[in-house]
Amino acid sequence: MTAKTRNILFQTLIALSLVGAAATLIPWSAALVTNDLGYKSLCPFAPWSSLALVGLAGLLAVTKSYISSQVD
């Protein structure tokens, strides 16, 4: 795998994680369960799922920078 392909892959995964984190907080009136923030959202596990996805994005960013520093 080339460095450019690896960087694009990591950037895509980071972006998807952050978009997913934001999506879990979107209000959704059809939800059956109220989340811990006190409203009905797309994900009933918000804000914990959002925090987990932001943490995953951070872990991916650290891994990307570590691999880039070792290979390049």
10-69 pLDDT tens trace: 999 999 999 999 999 999 999 999 999 999 999 999 999 999 999 999 999 999 999 999
pTM value surpassing 0.85: yes
Half-sphere exposure of 64 (CA within 13 A, CB side): 18
Which residue, 53, 49, 29, is CA-closest to 39? 29
Show Cβ contacts of residue 47 under 8 Å, excluding neighbours closer than 6 positions. Answer: 24, 25, 35, 36, 37
Q: What is the mean pLDDT of residues 68-72?
A: 82
pLDDT at residue 72, rounded to an integer:
61
